[in-house]
């Protein structure tokens, strides 16, 4: 018997309302700091995306086109017919919850709709209502719900709170790739002109000018000259890269942001120094001047259109193969989508390192070699003279970029290159690296500034692991091989672990590289005095 | 018996209740995750709170509270809550929850031992924590805006250089002839 019986007045206060509402009945409340600005009409019009208009997510009226529901349902139908994976992912989930607490956004926010299973359920519930018999017959009892404006806004809010990092899919017993569910969700939103401008702008620029920033050829070339001056000042070596040179053996493509924003600029200088030292017969292109591809954050077709410029340029210049720089999603596209889009790039040759003779058999079909594999091969074959002590002022850890780690299994090469380029290297905890790496928190075009709260929350798990190695080993440099990481981890570190800087791996390679005819270096690329040269830096500015 | 000795004896139950009250500020569906996932790398938010409140509590029980040390412990929690889905008041309310927990858990002993004055003194210490917390919270929010401004600057820095829209003056060399325009190619500028 209960020790305390309720008194009559207590009984009368019993609230019969269920304590919680079902997630379906809890509409999303769009909160500032958690979303990006809506795509501008001009940026959608450039590439012919439908329903382009200026709209604001903060307004009640999103200016949706007439009969938008039909457009979305037709869009779902098309994609179910086209992609077997999508139909499978809609049907197969048993809601076991293995993925639920693996998402960096969920870990950082505690918002249940950031559980990958529930984020996917936002779309699945509509799929059930219109495309399955139980859903049509039993509605909510079968986990189905109508497509309404509130549901659409919820989709928009949460599909742009997923960075498609695929950490959740590592833990799914069925291998459901929630990133692909987000991709489909974003494609459907894109049919209604509901993208974000941080994505739509770079897509438009890339389509018109060849890179996300809309840089024209002369701008790219003259910007590169700044780097050459800096390299000359640092090493006394004059580097003379070529642009759009027909007949070059190799085309080099890298994210354009590395040409303009620190700390990526130092990575770009690293490439220039390395290729010069090798005497590599390569060229940059001012047309295929972007490794990144924000098209993949809008639709499969747009990703294909943008990516093709790299191969069109390779064909025009007549190169034998392509080397790609440190970039994230570019590599996921090359490894997972390219062959489906275009088939083998047979107009080029199977990549062979001109320095070591190594055949890159993994790139036999795509003809595109990752620069970190290229460099690792050089080191393995003893072709580079590296002085790791030049990086002794750095205590280094490595962040596995989601796309290169989970999207192509590039786990050991960057570590091999780093360990040959620096003396102090410490791994972050096991469940935060390699296949289980945590996203920077700002991938898939979510690296705008207006959603800074979202980025900071999503960045908590990664920053927490960095903080651990910073406190335990004194780590002060977080390296990676992704341009978005370089841009966004800088902000994340600034907030969470201010004493840690961010660098691309080839920045450390450039610093360690002993170049033929170089003068004695006293600083690294950033102007920081090299160990033992602390008193000399003023003389070399 | 001193109040702090009583609180020390009841430390585990006080911390457990305080932790529960902090977690109540998060969505109900996620409380069990924040509470039960013990791996600090899989659950950094829960770990920061559980570790943080214990260290703060220990500092309160120390003979003399060190504002610098306790500020560091507060920072580990507030830095997270400053970017989460809370108003400033909600973000910092967890400090005051401790008053409620202490009164409820130790009230009988406080009365029995005539420790009301000690309780007031202890609660004043908690008020001090709240003042330190306001400063930390504001620093965090200011940092967010600073990061936004820095991102805008960093992404355009080289472009501005390229367009000859900015120059940097060297620290040394007061003579105008010695002023060097870093990274600006004079030949480009005169074209």
Three-state secondary structure along A385-443? Answer: CECHHHHCCCCEEECCCHHHHHCCCCCHHHHHHHHHHCCCECCCCHHHCHHHCCCCCCC
Question: For residue A79, what pLDDT is reported?
Answer: 98
Among A107, A222, A225, the strongest candidate for a mutation testing the B interface, having the largest count of B CBs within 10 A, is A107
Question: Domain count of chain A?
Answer: 2
Q: Which one of B144, B152, B183 has the shortest CB-CB distance to A226?
A: B183
Contact A112 B40 (CB under 8 A): no
- Give me the mean pLDDT over the B86-95 stretch: 95
Contact A491 B27 (CB under 8 A): no
Q: Report the 3 state secondary structure along A355-395.
A: CCCCECHHHCCCCEEEHHHHHHHHHHCCCCCECHHHHCCCC
Domain assignment of residue A386, yes or no: yes
Q: Which one of B39, B84, B158 has the shortest CB-CB distance to A260?
A: B158
Question: For residue B176, what pLDDT is reported?
Answer: 43
The Cα A203–Cα A459 span in angstroms is 25
Inform me whether the C-beta atom of residue A536 falls under 8 Å from chain B C-beta atoms.
Answer: no
The Cα A311–Cα A280 span in angstroms is 20
Inform me whether the C-beta atom of residue A429 falls under 8 Å from chain B C-beta atoms.
Answer: yes
Q: Which residues of chain B neighbour A20 with C-beta distances below 8 Å?
A: 28-29
Domain assignment of residue A117, yes or no: yes
A206 and A191 in a common domain = no
Tokens of B67: 């504002």
Say how many C-beta atoms besides its own lie within 10 A of residue A110's C-beta: 25
A27 and A167 in a common domain = yes
DSSP state of A38: B
Inform me whether the C-beta atom of residue A426 falls under 8 Å from chain B C-beta atoms.
Answer: no
Is residue B186 very low, low, confident or very high in pLDDT (cuts 50, 70, 90)?
very low
Q: Which one of A20, A213, A257 has the shortest CB-CB distance to B28?
A: A20
Report the residue of chain A nearest B48, measured CA to CA: A464
A213 and A183 in a common domain = no
User: Is pLDDT above 50 for B179?
Assistant: no
**CB-based contacts of A494: which residues, under 8 Å, 6+ apart?**
B143, B146, B147, B150
- Give me the mean pLDDT over the B129-139 stretch: 97
Q: Which residues of chain B neighbour A459 with C-beta distances below 8 Å?
A: none
Contact B33 A110 (CB under 8 A): yes
Contact A453, A423 (CB under 8 A): no
Say how many C-beta atoms besides its own lie within 10 A of residue A79's C-beta: 18
Contact A456 B34 (CB under 8 A): no
Report the residue of chain B nearest A110, measured CA to CA: B30
Q: Which helix (H) or strand (E) holds B36?
A: helix B28-36
Contact B80 A495 (CB under 8 A): no
Question: What angle, rounded to 10 degrees, do the helices at A84-92 and A116-131 form?
Answer: 100
Inform me whether the C-beta atom of residue A219 falls under 8 Å from chain B C-beta atoms.
Answer: yes
Q: Which helix (H) or strand (E) holds A503?
A: strand A501-504
A359 and A273 in a common domain = yes
Report the residue of chain B nearest A261, measured CA to CA: B155
User: Is pLDDT above 70 for B36?
Assistant: yes
Inform me whether the C-beta atom of residue A527 falls under 8 Å from chain B C-beta atoms.
Answer: no
Is residue B174 classed exposed, middle or buried when 0-12, 13-18 and 19+ CB atoms within 10 A define those classes? exposed
Among B148, B152, B154, B182, the strongest candidate for a mutation testing the A interface, having the largest count of A CBs within 10 A, is B154
Interface A–B counts its CB contacts (< 8 A) at 111
Q: Which residues of B touch A (CB under 8 A)?
A: 26-30, 33-34, 37, 39-45, 48, 79-80, 83-85, 140, 143-144, 146-148, 150-152, 154-155, 157-159, 161-162, 170, 172, 183, 185, 188
Inform me whether the C-beta atom of residue A259 falls under 8 Å from chain B C-beta atoms.
Answer: yes
User: Is pLDDT above 50 for B76?
Assistant: yes
End of a domain among A172, A195, A218?
A195
Domain assignment of residue A446, yes or no: yes
What does each C-alpha distance from A87 to A127, A319, B3 come to in angstroms? 9, 40, 64
A399 and A328 in a common domain = yes
The Cα A114–Cα A23 span in angstroms is 12
Q: Which helix (H) or strand (E) holds A324?
A: strand A321-324
Domain assignment of residue A348, yes or no: yes
Question: For residue B191, what pLDDT is reported?
Answer: 36
Phi, psi angles (nearest 5°) of residue A368: -130, 120
Contact B33 A456 (CB under 8 A): no
Q: Which one of A112, A260, A490 has the shortest CB-CB distance to B159?
A: A260
A178 and A232 in a common domain = no
Q: Which residues of chain B neighbour A112 with C-beta distances below 8 Å?
A: 27, 29-30
Domain assignment of residue A15, yes or no: no
The Cα A200–Cα A217 span in angstroms is 22
Tokens of A96: 């076991």
Question: For residue B64, what pLDDT is reported?
Answer: 87
User: Is pLDDT above 50 for B50?
Assistant: yes
Tokens of B8: 């020390």
Inform me whether the C-beta atom of residue A453 falls under 8 Å from chain B C-beta atoms.
Answer: yes
Report the residue of chain B nearest A494, measured CA to CA: B147
A400 and A297 in a common domain = yes
Q: Which one of A19, A112, A223 has the shortest CB-CB distance to B30?
A: A112
- List chain A pLDDT tens, one digit each, 541 residues: 445 676 666 666 555 555 567 888 888 999 999 999 999 999 999 999 999 999 999 999 999 999 999 999 999 999 999 999 999 999 999 999 999 999 999 999 999 999 999 999 999 999 999 999 999 999 999 999 999 999 999 999 999 999 999 999 999 999 999 999 999 999 999 999 999 999 999 999 999 999 998 888 998 998 899 999 999 999 999 999 999 999 999 999 999 989 888 899 999 999 999 999 999 999 999 999 999 999 999 999 999 999 999 999 999 999 999 999 999 999 999 999 999 998 899 999 999 999 999 999 999 999 999 999 999 999 999 999 999 999 999 999 999 999 999 988 999 999 999 999 999 999 999 999 999 999 999 999 999 999 999 999 999 999 999 999 999 999 999 999 999 999 999 999 999 999 999 999 999 999 999 999 999 999 999 999 998 887 654 544 3
Say how many C-beta atoms besides its own lie within 10 A of residue B72's C-beta: 14
A183 and A41 in a common domain = yes
A422 and A403 in a common domain = yes
CA angle (A54 as vertex; A53, A58 as ends), nearest 5: 130
Q: Which helix (H) or strand (E) holds A270?
A: helix A264-278
Domain assignment of residue A8, yes or no: no
Range name among A169-173, B132-136, B170-174 with the lowest pLDDT average? B170-174
A388 and A243 in a common domain = yes
What does each C-alpha distance from A158 to A186, A435, A446, A502 come to in angstroms? 10, 24, 12, 28
User: Is pLDDT above 60 for B32?
Assistant: yes
End of a domain among A165, A195, A225?
A195
Nearest alpha carbon to residue A226 among B183, B34, B54, B51:
B183
End of a domain among A170, A195, A220?
A195
Residues linked to residue A283 through DSSP beta bridges, in sequence order:
A251
Phi, psi angles (nearest 5°) of residue A478: -105, 110
Q: Which residues of chain A neighbour B50 with C-beta distances below 8 Å?
A: none
Nearest alpha carbon to residue B102 among B10, B2, B1:
B10
Contact B84 A109 (CB under 8 A): yes
Q: Which residues of chain A neighbour B42 with C-beta distances below 8 Å?
A: 101, 107, 431, 461
Angstroms from A361 CA to nearest CA on chain B:
37
Residues A154, A157, A158, A160, CA torsion sign = positive
A308 and A184 in a common domain = no
User: Residue A439 sits in which domain range?
Assistant: 202-512
Report the residue of chain B nearest A216, measured CA to CA: B159
Domain assignment of residue A179, yes or no: yes
Question: For residue A163, what pLDDT is reported?
Answer: 97
Contact B85 A431 (CB under 8 A): no
Q: Which one of A31, A219, A265 has the shortest CB-CB distance to B162?
A: A219
Question: For residue B190, what pLDDT is reported?
Answer: 37
How do beta strands A321-324 and A250-253 pair? parallel
Report the residue of chain B nearest A218, measured CA to CA: B162
A99 and A71 in a common domain = yes
Phi, psi angles (nearest 5°) of residue A321: -160, 180
Q: Which residues of chain B neighbour A19 with C-beta distances below 8 Å?
A: 28
């Amino acid at each position: 018997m209960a020790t305390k019986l309720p008194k009559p007045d207590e009984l009368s206060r019993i609230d019969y309302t269920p304590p919680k509402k079902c997630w379906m009945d809890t509409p999303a409340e769009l909160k500032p700091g958690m979303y990006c600005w809506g795509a501008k009409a001009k940026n959608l019009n450039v590439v012919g995306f439908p329903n382009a208009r200026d709209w604001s997510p903060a307004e009640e009226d999103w200016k949706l086109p007439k009969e938008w529901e039909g457009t979305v349902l037709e869009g779902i139908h098309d994609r179910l017919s086209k992609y077997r994976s999508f139909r499978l992912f809609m049907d197969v989930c048993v809601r076991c919850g293995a993925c639920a607490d693996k998402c960096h956004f969920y870990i950082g926010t505690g918002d249940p709709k950031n559980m990958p299973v529930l984020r996917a359920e936002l779309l699945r519930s509509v799929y059930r209502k219109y495309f399955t018999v139980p859903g049509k017959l039993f509605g909510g009892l079968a986990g189905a719900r109508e497509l309404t404006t509130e549901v659409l806004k919820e989709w928009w809010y949460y599909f742009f709170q997923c960075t498609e990092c695929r950490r959740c899919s590592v833990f799914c017993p069925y291998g459901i790739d929630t990133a692909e569910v987000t991709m489909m969700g974003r494609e459907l939103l894109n049919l209604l002109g509901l993208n974000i401008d941080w994505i739509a702008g770079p897509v438009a620029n890339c389509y018109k000018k060849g890179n996300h920033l809309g840089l024209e050829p002369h701008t790219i070339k003259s910007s590169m000259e700044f780097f050459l001056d800096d390299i000359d000042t640092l090493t006394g070596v004059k580097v003379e890269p070529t642009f759009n040179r027909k007949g070059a053996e190799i085309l080099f493509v890298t994210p354009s942001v590395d040409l303009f924003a620190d700390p990526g600029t130092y990575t770009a200088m690293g490439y220039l120094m390395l290729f010069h030292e090798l005497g590599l017969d390569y060229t940059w292109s001012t047309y295929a001047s972007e490794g990144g591809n924000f098209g993949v954050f809008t639709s499969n077709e747009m990703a294909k259109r943008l990516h093709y410029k790299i191969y069109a340029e390779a064909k025009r210049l007549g190169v034998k193969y392509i080397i790609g720089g440190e970039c994230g999603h570019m590599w996921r596209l090359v490894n997972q989508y390219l062959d489906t889009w275009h088939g083998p790039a047979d107009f080029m040759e199977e990549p062979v390192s001109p320095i070591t003779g190594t055949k890159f058999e993994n790139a036999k079909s795509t003809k595109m070699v990752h620069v970190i594999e290229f460099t690792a091969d050089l080191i393995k074959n003893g072709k580079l003279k590296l002085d790791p002590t030049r990086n002794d002022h750095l205590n280094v850890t490595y962040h596995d970029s989601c796309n290169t780690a989970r999207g192509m299994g590039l786990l050991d090469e960057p570590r091999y290159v780093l360990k040959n380029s620096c003396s102090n290297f410490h791994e972050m905890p096991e469940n935060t690296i390699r296949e289980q790496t945590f996203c920077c928190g700002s991938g898939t075009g979510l690296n705008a500034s207006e959603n800074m709260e979202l980025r900071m929350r999503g960045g908590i798990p990664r920053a927490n692991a960095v903080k651990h190695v910073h406190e335990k080993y004194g780590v002060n440099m977080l390296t990676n091989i992704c341009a978005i990481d370089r841009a966004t981890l800088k902000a994340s570190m600034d907030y969470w672990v201010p004493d840690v800087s961010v660098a691309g791996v080839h920045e450390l390679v450039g610093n360690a590289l002993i170049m033929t005819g170089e003068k004695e270096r006293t600083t690294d690329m950033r102007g920081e005095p090299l160990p033992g040269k602390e008193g000399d830096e003023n003389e070399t500015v | 018996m001193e109040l702090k000795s009583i609180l020390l004896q009841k430390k585990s139950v006080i911390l457990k209740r305080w932790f529960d009250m902090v977690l109540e500020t998060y969505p109900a569906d996620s409380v069990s995750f924040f509470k039960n996932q013990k791996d600090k790398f899989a659950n950094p938010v829960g770990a920061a709170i559980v570790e943080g409140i214990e260290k703060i509590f220990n500092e309160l029980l120390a003979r003399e509270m060190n504002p610098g040390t306790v500020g560091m412990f507060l920072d580990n929690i507030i830095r997270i809550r400053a970017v989460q889905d809370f108003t400033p008041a909600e973000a910092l309310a967890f400090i005051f929850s401790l008053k409620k927990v202490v009164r409820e858990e130790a009230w009988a002993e406080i009365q029995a031992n005539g420790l009301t004055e000690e309780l007031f003194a202890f609660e004043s210490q908690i008020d001090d924590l709240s003042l330190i917390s306001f400063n930390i919270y504001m620093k965090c929010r200011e940092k967010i805006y600073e990061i936004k401004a820095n991102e805008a600057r960093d992404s355009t820095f080289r472009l501005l250089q390229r367009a000859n829209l900015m120059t940097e003056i060297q620290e040394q060399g007061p003579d105008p002839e010695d002023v060097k325009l870093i990274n600006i190619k004079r030949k480009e500028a005169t074209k």
